[in-house]
Chain A
Amino acid sequence: MTEPVTGIGLAVVIVGLALTTLVTRTSFLVAGSRLKLGHRVEMALRYAPVCTLAAIIVPDVLMHGGSWDVGLLEPRLIGVAAAGIWLCVSRNIVGCLATGMLAFSLARLYL
């Protein structure tokens, strides 16, 4: 694994992320009526966040340090599964996090 991003690199990342917030949120509000969103483009934009987040989460949970780690008793997997089950019945995110953390901690301590 490489080193975490720190120092000037981190400053660049923060400014870059701030710009992405600014550009996306103000895009059409400022650019005005000259631009128009096509139906297909709007669909792609709508599904972009959930797909990107899924592409981050899945490898993050199932892999460790670049290798497969798919034991069913892996605490992270158990935590995510518990959080997922919670989300099927409730939208309360605090409960979701508490359930996930509890399952993760119990699995880490006792399995």
Chain B
Amino acid sequence: MGIDAEHRQLVSARAERRAAFRAGQRAILPSLPGSAAWGLISGVAMVKGGLAVPWAITMSLLVYGASAQLAALPLIAAGAPLWVIVATGFITNLRFVIYSAALRPHFANESARVRAALGFFMTDFTFTLFMRRAQEGTLPEANRVAWFAGVCSNNWLTWQTCAITGVVAASYVPTQWGLEFTGTLALVALVGPSLRARPALVGAVIAGVVALLGHGLPFRLGLFCGAIAGIIAATVADHLASREPPAGAPA
């Protein structure tokens, strides 16, 4: 009797986990067109940015980060020092440190291996969805790992399929079409929406001007000076804005 009941419990726990996984796969569906578009664009931009097809596919599978990949492309094409390219990707990825810190309390009871796996497959889209559901209190409490795994797996599959499709398709497009310009445009599309926040706008303008002035510096130091100047400017602007909130506007 004991063994039988235990067995039944185990089976139903497994069924619940599987149901949570499928619920996660469904929950991410509304974001998938966005993911698909970014995947496709990254794929096209990699090939048109000068990467051979096998390299582009390897990069997509290993790096799995549109903004870091798109930021690296112009530097790869210009033959920048390797550490400069990697450091640029690192700074572009720094927002994930914040995401990672925000997710931590939700997975505190899981093993380090599970947390690492969930972290690697987390993206802007999946993180946003998870945090929204956590705030609404609509996560399947006991099976949040399975649910988030469902969310991330569907997002990963969509992104990678579209990225590889983009890589292959772009290799058939003649160079004269100027499709390499999509890489620059994709960066603009990444930055644009964030500029609605005043501190980000201040930071971006300062970063752009300083990078332009420092363009001739060795080791692409102009890029780093621009990024650091922009980050300082944005942080100061944010500090000033939060000290004197405009009347009626929520912080």
The verdict on B24 contacting chain A, using a C-beta distance below 8 Å, is no
Contact partners of B92 in chain A: CB under 8 A: 48-49, 52-53
B94–A105 contact, CB under 8 A? no
Contact partners of A55 in chain B: CB under 8 A: 207-208, 210-211, 222-224, 226-227, 230
A13–B76 contact, CB under 8 A? yes
Q: Secondary structure of the B side of the interface?
A: helix
For window 4-25 of chain A, which residues contact chain B by CB distance below 8 Å? 4-5, 9-10, 12-25
B91–A52 contact, CB under 8 A? yes
Flag B86-113 by CB within 8 Å of A: 1 or 0 each. 1011111111111111011001100010
Q: Which residue of A lies closest to B224 (CB)?
A: A55
Contact partners of A73 in chain B: CB under 8 A: none
Contact partners of A15 in chain B: CB under 8 A: 62
A48–B208 contact, CB under 8 A? no
The verdict on B27 contacting chain A, using a C-beta distance below 8 Å, is no
A-B contact count (CB 8 A): 284
The verdict on B219 contacting chain A, using a C-beta distance below 8 Å, is no
Binds A, one of B13-21, B131-139, B198-206: B198-206
B118–A29 contact, CB under 8 A? yes
With A1-B79, A45-B94, A49-B94 as given contacts, are A57 and B104 in contact (CB-CB < 8 Å)? Answer: no
Contact partners of B207 in chain A: CB under 8 A: 51-52, 54-55, 58
Of the listed residues A47, A87, A105, the one surrounded by the most CB atoms of chain B closer than 10 A to its CB is A47
- Shortest Cβ distance from residue B244 to the other chain A in the assembled complex, whole angstroms: 17
Contact partners of B58 in chain A: CB under 8 A: 14
Contact partners of A5 in chain B: CB under 8 A: 75-76, 79-80, 82, 85
Q: Secondary structure of the A side of the interface?
A: helix
B193–A56 contact, CB under 8 A? no
- Shortest Cβ distance from residue A8 to the other chain B in the assembled complex, whole angstroms: 10
Given contacts A50-B203, A83-B189, 18 further A-B contacts (CB under 8 A): A4-B79, A5-B79, A21-B120, A25-B96, A26-B120, A28-B101, A43-B235, A43-B238, A47-B235, A50-B194, A54-B203, A54-B207, A55-B222, A55-B224, A58-B207, A59-B211, A84-B188, A105-B178
Q: Can you offer 20 A-B residue contacts whose CB atoms are under 8 A?
A: A2-B78, A4-B79, A5-B82, A13-B86, A18-B63, A21-B64, A21-B65, A21-B93, A22-B119, A32-B108, A49-B95, A51-B231, A52-B230, A54-B207, A56-B71, A57-B188, A58-B212, A59-B211, A97-B186, A100-B188
Cβ-closest 9 pairs across A and B? A51-B230, A55-B226, A58-B208, A2-B79, A16-B86, A26-B119, A87-B192, A47-B234, A55-B211
